[in-house]
Chains A and B, each alone.
Chain A
């Protein structure tokens, strides 16, 4: 596809359940980012990959959150033992070059809305 694709679009989980969120970045994009957007807030940085290397995971809120991008394309964000405070929209974004923010636009997917009951 032409844009960043995320699945599922919506996910309802019971508290304590594990979930996996998928991101297909734009083909050829080197950098991949995960952001978390709580209701009424702006997106907050979670983690960043350059190809398959996870270069920054400082935004992951706890060790229940884990992200991977084993072949440098598709990425999965996994949340173990979900809690109600994990309810948010999880946005994936990609960019062409390895340095974003400064001169490279991020292309965002539509997000996965996670609701933990």
Chain B
């Protein structure tokens, strides 16, 4: 039973446009959410996070939105750049737990 779901295995966008990656979760006890980015043959790297007490967090070109009632979060990248091409993982935790529960990832391709 997947607690964190990324239903789109892949997404392709043009350079300069907005990329929107989506994530749904089923466990209402999750209170902290993170996005990780992974290039081939490398480990995931932290991108941005959001606490459940907020509904938006922004860091440069990256913004994460959280809709608790829908148990949905999204990552917006604008403008998208070819270097953003990677696999993006959504992850969640609860109660300050050290365990992160990851989704399956979405492969983003940004075309020049």
Which residues of A come within 8 Å of B, CB atoms?
4, 31, 33, 40-45, 48, 55-56, 59, 91, 93, 99-103, 105-111
Question: How big is chain B's contact interface, by range?
Answer: 20 to 34
Q: How many A-B residue pairs have CB under 8 A?
A: 63
B residues less than 8 Å from A93 (CB atoms): 43
Is A33 within 8 A of B98, CB to CB? Answer: yes
Which residues of B come within 8 Å of A, CB atoms?
4, 6, 32, 36, 41-46, 49, 51, 89, 91, 93, 96-105
Is B42 within 8 A of A42, CB to CB? Answer: no
CB closest chain-B residue, reference A4: B43
B residues less than 8 Å from A40 (CB atoms): 104
Is A106 within 8 A of B46, CB to CB? Answer: yes
Is A45 within 8 A of B100, CB to CB? Answer: yes
